[in-house]
Amino acid sequence: MAKMRCAAIIIQRRFRASVLGDAERQMFARMRRAATTIQAAYRGQAARESLKRRHKSSTVIQAAFRMHAARRHYLAVRKAAAVIQRKYRAAVLALETKKDYDALRNAALVIQANWRGRADRKAMEERCAARRSSSRPLTEVSGSDGRLPAGIRLPL
């Protein structure tokens, strides 16, 4: 009986150890799953924060690039507007200068025409005076057609 009792004690010990081992294995498995869950949650949170940081960084970079492109476009448009304004002002100034030049030229032409007309009138007056003072009248010298013969000239 003592042998049986020892055998029963051994069986009970092994059973209890087996139950205890199963409980520890289950506890270990639960702890491992809990650790995996915690790690997954941490990694997911870290990945979301990293993604959020990357999105924010890419937004900042895109905004800086768009600002640079917009500034470049604005400066090009402003430069083009300045060129157009400069050309327009030069064209307006050229038209005004041409108008002033034409007015001065026309005034000079009027003065020259008046002066030449005066000089021609004076010359005609002198010729008429010379004809009046000449000894023979024109009708005697001229032919039947009213023209002077080839060798005769009137004084100017």
Q: How far apart are the first and last CA of the chain?
A: 181
**Stretch 101-106: mean pLDDT:** 97
Looking at residue 82, what is its pLDDT? 98
Indicate if the pLDDT at residue 136 is higher than 90.
Answer: no
Contacts of 154 (CB under 8 A, 6+ apart): 127, 130, 131, 148
Percent with pLDDT over 70 in the chain: 86
Contacts of 123 (CB under 8 A, 6+ apart): 156
**What confidence category does residue 78 fall into, taking pLDDT thresholds of 50, 70 and 90?**
very high
* C-alpha span between 156 and 124 (Å, rounded): 8
3-state secondary structure 52-76: HHHHHHHHHHHHHHHHHHHHHHHHH
